[in-house]
Structure formats: C-alpha cells, structure tokens
Amino acid sequence: MQPQVQAFHHADTGTWSYVVADPATRTAAIVDPVLDFDAKSGRTSTPSAQALLDHVRNQGLQVRWLLETHAHADHLSAAHWLKSQHFPDATLAIGEGIRDVQKAFRPIFNLGEHFPIDGSQFDHLFADGEAFTIGELDARVIAAPGHTSDSNAYLIGDALFTGDSLFMPDGGTARCDFPGGDAATLYRSIQRLFELPENTRVFVCHDYGPGGREVRCETTIGEQKRGNIHVRDGVDEAGFVTMRKARDATLAMPALILPAVQVNIRAGALPEAEDNGVRYLKVPLDRI
Ligand SMILES: [Fe+2]
C-alpha cells in the first residue's frame, strides 16, 4: 500500500504543504504547513493551515505527525498552531541538525541563554536513517544537509518529500548560502537521494513556475537524474559547487527570512508576549 498524498500550494511563498495518509488506517502526517503572515501589517492568520485541517476532517484522518523538512527561511510554520489548537497528540518533528540552526541564529536574534539550542522546542529530532511509521506505512529519514544543516528528506512508502534539496527538474536546487549551508554538502546529499529507485515519487517543498509554466509539485527520482538543471547525471561536485556559489551570489535574501527563522527555530511558536501582552519580532540590523 502506498500513501495518498494531497498537495496544498501557498501562492504567497511558492510553498507546497502536504497531507500524507495511510489509506489502510486513515493515519496521516502533515508536511511543512504554512502560517500565513502579512509582513506589511505584522498580522498572522491561518487560512492555509485551515485548508489542511479541512482536508484532514473531510477524509476522517488521524494526524500522527507534523513533519518539518527544515527550518524554513521563506515562510512561517503552522506546525505549532496545528499541534496546540488541533492535534495535541501529534509529534512535531524536524532533523537533529536544528540544533546547529538554533546555535547559528540565537546570537543573531540575541535570544539569550534561556533560549534552548538543544531542539527541545520540538517533540522529536530525527537522526539520519531513522525509521518511523504512519499507520501501516513505513517511513524513513534521509538527512539531506546542504541547503541548511537541518534539512531532511522523508521517504514515506514510495513518496519522497525533499524539502528544498531538490526542486522540480526545471527549478534545480535551493540556495546554500544561509548560515550552515554548503553547496558541496548539498551535492552529496542529493547523490544519496539519487540512489533511490527511479520510480520513487518526489514531492518538492517549493515551485515558482519557472518560465511562466503552471506550478507543479510532483516528479520522480528518474526525472531528476535525467533532467534536473543543476544536478542531473553527469554534473560533478565541482561543477555544481561553482554553479551554486555563482548563482547564490546574485540572490537577495528571502522577503520573510527574519520573521520566518525566528519563529521556525521555535518550532513555529510565536515569541512570548511582552508585558503589554503584544508579541514582537526582531529585525537585527546589518547581521545577515
Ligand atoms: Fe528552505
């Protein structure tokens, strides 16, 4: 039995979120849910997370896992909202490399010693190779550092959720210039993903519709090996690193990196309210 995968596109950030269900037991995981955030007003809202919730309810699913592929820099995570408001028994999990991300960003946001950098904001930190189940579906973690040090791919049945390590073949790969990112490391992570069977379904975390095509979320390992514009068969590590560094040098920071990272290293929880009852995000000047 293979998982049923329902994709949800978040147009503002080009993010794909997924509900992955075991058809036999109606057990499910939610991958990379998005919390809506309007940077102009500083207002958070939940229509995108609500759409996931509606699907779960309509399908009669029991959500067992809230999975983050990494601490995203382009959108705020709705995992904390989903867990605290709707799925208290679900396990909110990320890769154990989140500790390195927290360690890198704690001083940037001056979060102080009381902000743990041991990943304890999450329910579970996955190690590379760790196995888990979603109902009767077998799942496995493939650590895929490079874009970030905490990046994971999740192999659930025949479906691989790559986070940002691989985009659609015509989208290539994600940048490697954030703190903890490294292009050679990403290349090696992708080579591990390429060892999977060619018919493995691949679900990406972002698609921006290059060249004006319609957004897509699903491809296969075989299609990636044959056609990914950055890492198809025949591209060696040195060539990839040269390309990735040159390209990263041209990219502006993502619009939401500062709000997103300081929320996402808290597992999606918003900063604590100050004594006036209002929560604030910080903007460190001249740091990134
Ligand atoms: Fe990312």
Whole-number Å distance, alpha carbon 233 to ligand 1 midpoint, is: 24
Q: Amino acid identity of 133?
A: T
Whole-number Å distance, alpha carbon 163 to ligand 1 midpoint, is: 7
Is residue 271 a part of any domain in this protein?
no
Note the pLDDT tens digit of each residue in 198-226: 999 999 999 999 999 999 999 999 999 99
Whole-number Å distance, alpha carbon 73 to ligand 1 midpoint, is: 6
Is residue 279 a part of any domain in this protein?
no
Whole-number Å distance, alpha carbon 181 to ligand 1 midpoint, is: 10
Pull the structure tokens for residue 259: 């709000």
Note the pLDDT tens digit of each residue in 135-182: 999 999 999 999 999 999 999 999 999 999 999 999 999 999 999 999
Is residue 275 a part of any domain in this protein?
no
Is residue 270 a part of any domain in this protein?
no
Contact 139, 132 (CB under 8 A): yes
3-state secondary structure of 188: helix
Is residue 234 a part of any domain in this protein?
yes
User: Which range of residues forms the domain containing residue 195?
Assistant: 4-261
Cα separation, 257 vs 262, whole angstroms: 8
Whole-number Å distance, alpha carbon 70 to ligand 1 midpoint, is: 7
- State the pLDDT at residue 10: 98
- State the pLDDT at residue 176: 98
Pull the structure tokens for residue 156: 């659930």
Instruction: Find, among 30, 31, 43, 34, the residue nearest to 15 by Cα.
Output: 34
Task: State the residue for tokens 């550092």.
Answer: 145
Is residue 266 a part of any domain in this protein?
no
| Cα 263 to chain centroid, rounded | 14
Cα separation, 179 vs 7, whole angstroms: 29
Total domains in the chain come to 1
Is residue 91 a part of any domain in this protein?
yes
Whole-number Å distance, alpha carbon 254 to ligand 1 midpoint, is: 10
Is residue 280 a part of any domain in this protein?
no
- State the pLDDT at residue 1: 78
Q: Give every residue of the chain whose pLDDT is below 50, as ranges.
A: none
CATH number of the domain where residue 220 is located: 3.60.15.10
- State the pLDDT at residue 274: 97
